Amino acid sequence: MTHLALPTPRGMVLGDVIPGDRVRDVALVLAGAALTALGAQISIQTGASPVPITGQTLAVVIAGAALGSQRGMLSQLLYVVAGLFLPVYSDGASGFDVIWGATGGYLVGFIVAAWIVGRMAEGGADRRFGSATIAFALGQLSIFAIGVPWLKVSTGMDWSTAIHDGFTIFIIGGLIKAALAGVLAPAAWKLVKKIEG
């Protein structure tokens, strides 16, 4: 793995508080992937929809904010690749059939979402509740933007069913997760300042 350049103080994210260099970056990427794998095991079936409610999207936005755009994106890429061989997807699933199936687009969306949230965190969006919640909501929207069309194509659903089963039923939960992450990230920054100060 090549060295990831540390951001300037303006672009600092929570992961940069930990001293280190390459070893730290590798450990953070592994931790981000592990957090998403853990979130995947919190899975609730939603009835007719093939897409479950999981803790993954919360883990993805937290990883993106804490690690920044590059490491956050790499953590999700590692998670998706690991799931091809290990049972780390929701409900302990694994394999290429998951990627090609109804939930595959959401998994691919994790990579994009972590980059978006990480980039916004590098700009300081994760330091206040309002901007953090918006950043996390945008990250989740990017997951749905990839996941819903993928769901439609992989299942043959019509657009209205795909939007309902793949997005509409998740709106309230997504907003709750965004708000929760919007509380956690600024709180973590306050804790860092208290420790440093």
Per-residue pLDDT at 110 exceeds 80: yes
146 domain-assigned: yes
Total domains present in the chain = 1
In this structure, are residues 144 and 170 in contact, taking their beta carbons and an 8 Å threshold?
yes
75 domain-assigned: yes
Rounded CA separation 59/114 (Å) = 9
pLDDT in the model for residue 2: 41
Rounded CA separation 72/11 (Å) = 14
Per-residue pLDDT at 40 exceeds 50: yes
pLDDT in tens, 151-170: 999 999 999 999 999 999 99
Rounded CA separation 25/30 (Å) = 9
In this structure, are residues 161 and 149 in contact, taking their beta carbons and an 8 Å threshold?
no
4 domain-assigned: no
197 domain-assigned: no
Closest CA to 126 of 186, 57, 60, 59: 186
64 domain-assigned: yes
50 domain-assigned: yes
Range of the domain at 125: 13-192
CATH of the domain at 170: 1.10.1760.20
In this structure, are residues 1 and 24 in contact, taking their beta carbons and an 8 Å threshold?
no
Rounded CA separation 153/145 (Å) = 13
Q: What is the mean pLDDT of residues 184-197?
A: 87
Average pLDDT of the chain? 91
- For the chain, helix (H) and strand (E) counts, in that order, are 7, 2
157 domain-assigned: yes
20 vs 141, residue with greater confidence: 141
Q: What is the mean pLDDT of residues 68-94?
A: 96
- CB count within 10 Å of CB 54 equals 22
Rounded CA separation 131/138 (Å) = 11
112 domain-assigned: yes
Q: How many CA atoms lie within 13 A of 50 on its CB side?
A: 18
Q: How confident is the model at residue 4 (pLDDT cuts 50, 70, 90)?
A: very low
pTM, rounded to two decimals: 0.90
Per-residue pLDDT at 115 exceeds 60: yes
- CB count within 10 Å of CB 82 equals 18
